[in-house]
Amino acid sequence: MKKLMTLTVNGIKHEVAVEPRRTLLELIREDLGLTGTKKGCGIGDCGACTVLVDEVPTFSCLMLALQADGCKVETIEGLTENGELSKLQEAFVKHGAIQCGYCTPGMIMTSTELLRHNPNPTEHEIRHAISGNLCRCTGYQKIVEAVTACGSETETGEEKS
Ligand code: FES
Ligand code: FES
């Protein structure tokens, strides 16, 4: 039997009726139509489904939708402002950190949270933060470079060359 729940997604409050076994990923993609969040493995191995739940990077395939009752959820769609990419999204494009793009939303959500709490992370800290996000294409180096450059930009107001 469906249960009513309330959650805020990208600043918009939603009241939805969900089946108890529905995952947060299914709620986000299928009920709310926010398909930027990807489903890879569905079992907590790849990180493609990462969203922020109350500012914590979370595998939405492993979380029941009802567990997010009352929570603040952020997805990749919430990072753009007035159609403008976030600085980190721009850095991913500029540094070639996107190839097929399937890991990218999850990778950017994880890295966004890292930069919020640690605006100038070391390479080790970046690699540790994204260790749950798998990328089959880039070899990770370009991703690390993009996050590093964005971190420098966040701190100094200007990206280092
Ligand atoms: S789809 Fe959730 S961790 Fe892979
Ligand atoms: S860009 Fe293809 S999986 Fe990361």
Q: 87-155: which CATH number, 3.40.50.1370, 1.10.1740.10, 1.10.150.120, 3.40.30.10?
A: 1.10.150.120
CA of 72 to the centre of ligand 2 (A): 27
Give, for ligand 1, the residue of 43, 58, 133 to mutate: max count of ligand atoms closer than 8 Å to Cβ. Answer: 43
Considering the domain delimited by 3-79, tell me its CATH architecture. Roll (3.10)
Strand arrangement of the beta sheet that strand 3-9 belongs to: 12-18, 3-9, 72-74, 50-53, 56-59
Q: Compute CA distances 75 → 30, 123, 152, whole Å.
A: 14, 24, 24
Distance CA 74, CA 9 (A): 6
Distance CA 99, CA 16 (A): 35
Q: Which residue ranges does the chain devote to CATH 1.10.150.120?
A: 87-155
Q: Which residue ranges does the chain devote to CATH 3.10.20.30?
A: 3-79
Express each pLDDT in 127-149 by its tens digit.
999 999 999 999 999 999 999 99
Question: Of all protein residues, whose CA lies closest to atom 3 belonging to ligand 1?
Answer: 44
Percent above pLDDT 90 for the chain? 91
Q: Compute CA distances 10 → 6, 34, 50, 67, whole Å.
A: 13, 10, 14, 17
Residue 9 has pLDDT above 60, yes or no: yes
Express each pLDDT in 80-95 by its tens digit.
988 899 999 999 999 9
- Count the alpha carbons within 13 Å of 120 in the hemisphere toward its beta carbon: 9
- Whole-model pTM: value is 0.93
